[in-house]
Structure 1
Amino acid sequence: MTQAGEGEIRRIRPAQFHTTAGLEDWRVLGEGACAYFRTGSFTAGARLVQAISEVPGVGSGRPDIDLRHEGVTVRLVTITDDYYGLTERHVELARQISAVARSLDVPADPSALQGVQITVDALVGPDVMPFWRALLGYRDRADSGEDLIDPHRRGAQFYFQRMDAPRPQRNRLHVDVWVPYDRAEARIAAALGAGGRLVSDAAAPSHWVLADPEGNEACVGVAGAPGPDA
């Protein structure tokens, strides 16, 4: 682990998070650790959000919470001037949030989680990023010179991938779908069964490149799957 620039708070990697006991409800996606709780009604969801707001220290963890009729999604991620990711603080906070959900008989459903990133292929990233930054109202991600993020933490992250040469016969913009590590196989199978094809699994088990019937590409990615190769 490395120091995070947050006092004594230490950064942790996705694989460390996943192998920590008591975090079975959570999955690390491309933008932090997430959990989805099926509430079944807006009222039940509001009760869960209220209970989460009363967890000691929850304010310092700054969780992002999305309340819908069907359920509540909670995301834990630290965004500072020099870091974008998880810290040890999130481990205990995740445990406490799960405990609150259990006390209200609200089940977690990790299979419902996913994150989306838009990847733009660019010959010279610094030349094209200002356009997208201004168009979207995004800002630079602190720890990366190739990413733009929504300052309101709602929209999909944009990643600028360097090309060595123009590729006029290939799409220059594609979607990355981040799924829980234990859902990647099923998601890929579903996409292939819907007419897609596997372009490359050279980077598996971290990500796979797929394409639709007309050759438009998309990637399925996971973060920190437990195991010797994590």
Structure 2
Amino acid sequence: MNAEADRRITALQFQQADRTGDWRVLGSGASTWYAAPSHSAGAALARRILALTQECVGPLPDGASLPIDLDIRADGVRVRIPLTPEDGGFRPDHSALAETVSSAAAELGLPADPVAVQDVQLAFDVLDQESVSSFWETALGYRRVGDEDVMDPVRRHPLIWFQDMDAPRPLRNRLHLDVVTPEPVASTAVNALEALGGHAARHGYYATVADPEGNEVDVLPLEVGADRWHGDRTEDWRLVFAAMACYPVADAHQAGELATKAAELADEAHLPVRIDLRPGVVVIDTGKDRWETEEGYEALAARVQEVARDLGLVADVTLPRFVQVGIDAVDIPAVRRFWCAALGYEPDPRPHVTDIVDPRQLNPVLFFQDLDASDDARRAQRNRIHLDVFVPHDQAEARIEAALAAGGRLVYEDEAPDFVTLADPEGNEVDIAVSVGREERWQAAHPA
């Protein structure tokens, strides 16, 4: 093993390396955003990055994947060098890869906007880590990573961290998750969750299932046929709040080809889509509800399916998954204002829709449900979930100030600048966190 290649560097060392100014270290690795005028311009950058990444890292062993995630949107591309708890930190070649990506974007004239990126994660306070993590691993179709985390194997949805509690802490947050998958997957998941000790309440279209400590997930749809358009031309797609198709690919070249063709079709149709390139798979989706509210998505889906099949690709119809976070609130406008500020989100402009969304469609949707102020039993049935939002280190102070100005209150700051805990007007908590400098501060506080 090459000792230099295996050497680990801290988040701060990565951030201070030459030519990593385009990048910000967050909770799941280093990320940046490159503004682009169209899907096609973003796809051109993605293809260039895929080719250069292969040159940068050299031949990969069997089963290994390129160490990069690419998320193409109508107005830009997020590029992420992912890390998991198993990785043990950055390596020097991660800095070299970041420099390579930055050079490729500069050659194409695409400007970086690194302060636009963030990672939203979920944290569960638990008494029985094993039983609760097993439940959520099954509920979300995630995989176990290390001792405390489960993560989406496709790295599109929030990582979940399970934090040990010394004693129960009731009456905290009114958060729950919705997980929307193809109908057979949803039905199987509900049965599996019951086998793990979950309590399921079936409501026709969906089931609410509580984990062994009472945290809730809504699993849907449970009605046969509710997850698809009808007709052969769109049989690769599943309707999981977003219309979504997932195509396994053999290599980076095939991924780039599909992304390019899907981007061209989206631009021709003047319809925004999300094209996410991950190791071994390309995911194309419309974003939540757009396929229902805007004309043309079914026709676009049919054209994407046609070009994917022309490339010899076969969709995996079990992979589509949509995860969103719900918050029960008595005063939805007040709570919604706080979370827009805390997450840097925007309100969905549709009347009677409470969603708030990441303006770049990179992080999970939050929605708000009416909670009757007189329903004491429901208000007492609190989940042990909160959100962690990893922001660029140079944006944390401004984000905290914005959330406080939007009606939040400071709960805990003893661990600042690593994280600060804020609460919305009804007590739901969020940690505004940074990664850069954490290791150095820990080492200073715990000298050998």
TM-score by structure 1 length? 0.90
Contact 1:18 1:225 in 2 (8 A): no
Equivalent residues in 2 for 1:203-214 (5 A)?
203-214=415-426
Distance 1:116 1:76 in 2: 16
Equivalent residues in 2 for 1:98-117 (5 A)?
98-117=102-121
Equivalent residues in 2 for 1:163-202 (5 A)?
163-171=165-173, 172-202=384-414
Q: CA deviation at 1:226?
A: 9.2
Opposite residue 24 of structure 2, the aligned amino acid is: R
Distance 1:52 1:145 in 2: 33
Cα gap change, 1:120 to 1:66, in 2 (>3 Å): same
2:141 maps to 1:137: yes
2:67 corresponds, among 44, 62, 70, to: 62
Contact 2:5 2:91 in 1 (8 A): no
Equivalent residues in 2 for 1:1-230 (5 A)?
8-55=5-52, 56-57=55-56, 61-78=66-83, 82-83=86-87, 85-141=89-145, 144-171=146-173, 172-225=384-437, 229=441
Bigger mean CA offset, 67-76 vs 7-16: 7-16
Structure with greater proportional strand content: 1
Structure 1: where are the runs of 5+ without partners?
none
Q: Which residue pairs with 2:346 in the alignment? A: none
Q: CA deviation at 1:127?
A: 1.9
Compare CA radii of gyration and give the structure with the larger one: 2
Count of residues paired in the alignment:
224
Q: CA deviation at 1:40?
A: 2.4
Structure 2: where are the runs of 5+ without partners?
61-65, 174-383, 443-448
RMSD value, Cα: 2.4
Distance 2:441 2:87 in 1: 24
Q: CA deviation at 1:6?
A: 9.5
- CA deviations on 1:154-199 (whole Å, 9 max, x unpaired) are 1100000111111122231100001000010111111111111111
Q: CA deviation at 1:224?
A: 1.4
Distance 2:46 2:135 in 1: 37
Contact 2:11 2:435 in 1 (8 A): yes
Q: CA deviation at 1:227?
A: 11
The 4+ residue runs of structure 1 with deviation greater than 6 A are: none
| Secondary structure, counterpart of 2:94 in structure 1 | helix
Q: Percent sequence identity over matched residues?
A: 45
Q: CA deviation at 1:215?
A: 0.7
Structure with greater proportional helix content: 2
Distance 1:95 1:11 in 2: 17
Distance 1:126 1:149 in 2: 15
Contact 1:31 1:85 in 2 (8 A): no
Bigger mean CA offset, 59-68 vs 32-41: 59-68
Distance 2:405 2:4 in 1: 49
Contact 2:5 2:92 in 1 (8 A): no
| Secondary structure, counterpart of 1:140 in structure 2 | strand
